[in-house]
Amino acid sequence: MKINNFLELRDFQKIIIESEAIELNETVLQRVEASFQFLKDFSKNKVIYGVNTGFGPMAQFKINDDDTHQLQYNLIRSHSSGIGNSLPEDEVKAAMLARLNTLSLGNSGVHVSVVNLLKELINRNITPLIFEHGGVGASGDLVQLAHLALVLIGEGEVFYKGERKLTKEVFAVEGLEPIHVEIREGLALMNGTSVMSGIGAVNAYKANQLTEISIKLSCAINEIVLAYDDHLSEALNGTKRHAGQQKIAEKMRNHLADSKLVRKREEHLYTHFEEQDKVFKDKVQEYYSIRCVPQILGPVLDTLEFTEKVLEDEINSANDNPIINVEDQHVYHGGNFHGDYISLEMDKLKIVVTKLTMLAERQLNYLLNAKINEILPPFVNLGKLGFNFGMQGVQFTATSTTAESQMLSNSMYVHSIPNNNDNQDIVSMGTNAAVICRKVIENAFEVLAIEAITIVQAIEYLGYQDQVSSATKALYDDIRKIIPAFSEDMIMYPYLEEVKKYFKNM
C-alpha cells in the first residue's frame, strides 16, 4: 500500500492487523525533502523553537550552533523515561504508522531518512519497546514517542521475532542504519499524538468487533425466548431519528431473517383472548435487555463511527510544533500536539463499550436466573441440580469484570494535572485514556465469551439447534468446536480464553 496524501482508517487498520507492506510515494519523499531544505535555510539567523532553543519552559535559552544536533539527542535520551507494562506490538506498530503518516505531510522539516527508516521498521515488524506510563498527552506523547525516536537513532530496545532485543543488535542483523539528527528530528518525532492515535485506531477496530458480536448474541437470546419481532421492525425504529438505532435494528432483522423461533405479535397476541384470561401466560413484552437492544447498541455504533472520523482526521494531520509551511515560506508556532480530541474520544468509546458490556451481563443474568426466564434450569445447568453448577461459577467473573469496566469509565479527559514547570498547565491525558479504553475493550471480550457459552448451552437444553437462524447456527457450531456440550462440571478458564481468542479473530 502506498502512503501518499490521505490514509483512510480502514487502510490504516489493514496495515496493522494484516501486516500489509507499505511504500512511500515519490511525491511524499519530495514533499519531505522540500520541507527539510526550507527549514534548513529558513532557520539561519532566526529563533526557531526546538531548533536553536531549549525545550518547554527552557525555550528562553539560546543554543549555540555547534550544540544544536546534540540538543536533539539529549532530548530523546532524557525523555526515554517510560515505565510499567510495554505496549502491545500492534499498538506500537500503529503508533509508528501514525507518526510516519504525519511526518509525510511535509510540515515537520525532518530529513527523508526518518520516514524511510520508519517504513522499514513497519514492514519488517520491528517494534520499539514503548511503555504504557509516561506521557500526559499535551506536547503529545513525549515520553512514549521518545522511546520510538530512541530506536531510530539506533539505541534502546525493540521486539523482534517474538523477542525483546537491543536495537543495535537487530539493526546489525537486518542491515539497517540509524538516522543522524540533522535539524529537529528529535522534537519532530516526539511532539505529536501518534501513540494515543495508534492505540485508538486499534481500539476502534476491536470495538467494531465487539459491536458485531453483541448483535449476534442479542439476536440469539431473542430466539431463545421466542421474542416477538416488532421491537426490531423498521416501522418502529424508523420513528426514532437516530441512525445507529436504525442500523442495529436492520442488522438484527437480517441476522434473524430465517429464524423459526422469533414470532409475529399479530399471530399471537393480536388474534383474540378470552375475557376470563386475567393473567397472560406469554409475556406481553420482553425485558429491556432483550427488547431495547437497538436503543442500547445504537449509541454505541454512533459513537464508534464518530470516534473513527476523529481518529482518521488526527492521523492525517500535522500534530507537532512548530509547523513548517513551505508554501507560505513560514514557520508557525502553536499547539497542534495537544491530544484533547483523542482523549475525549477514548473516554466516549470506553463508556459505550462499558454499556455494551453491561448489556451482555444483564442478558447473561436473564439466562441464568430461572425465576426470570422461566424456560431454563438455574444457571443453565444441564446436569443434576444441587450437585452440578452449570454456569454459576463464571457469572462471578462476568459480574466482577463488568464492575471493573464501570469504574474505569471515569473520564481521563477532565483529569488534567499541570506539570513541566507549569508550562503544560492544562493537558489531555490522551494516552492514559487510550490505554484504559483498551482495558475496557479487553474486559468486554471476556464477558461476551461467557455470555456466548451460556447461550450455546441454552440452545442445547432447549433443542433449538435446527430452529435458530442460520447466522446463529454458525455461531453455535463455532463455539461448539471450542467447548462441547457439558452437564458434568469442568474447569472453565481454558474454554473462556479460547472463546475470547475466537471472538478477537473474527
Between CA 258 and CA 262 the distance in angstroms is 9
Q: Which of 145, 150, 143 is nearest to 167 (CA)?
A: 150
Q: Which three cell numbers stand for residue 33?
A: 525533502
Q: Kindly list the catalytic residues.
A: 49
* Strand ranges, E, within 412-479: none
Between CA 314 and CA 338 the distance in angstroms is 11
Between CA 374 and CA 171 the distance in angstroms is 64
Q: Which of 352, 318, 355, 344 is nearest to 333 (CA)?
A: 318
For residue 291, give Cα distances in angstroms to 129, 230, 487. Answer: 46, 9, 30
Between CA 486 and CA 388 the distance in angstroms is 11
Check if the beta carbon of residue 288 is closer than 8 Å to that of residue 499: no
Instruction: For residue 474, give every residue at least 6 positions away whose Cβ sits within 8 Å of its Cβ, in sequence order, or none.
Output: none
Q: Buried b vs exposed e over 122-141: b needs ≥16 C-beta within 10 Å?
A: beeebbbbbbbebbbbbbbb
Check if the beta carbon of residue 134 is closer than 8 Å to that of residue 81: yes
CA 89 from chain center: how many Å? 14
Q: How many helices (H) and strands (E) does the chain have?
A: 19, 9
Q: Which three cell numbers stand for residue 291?
A: 427488547
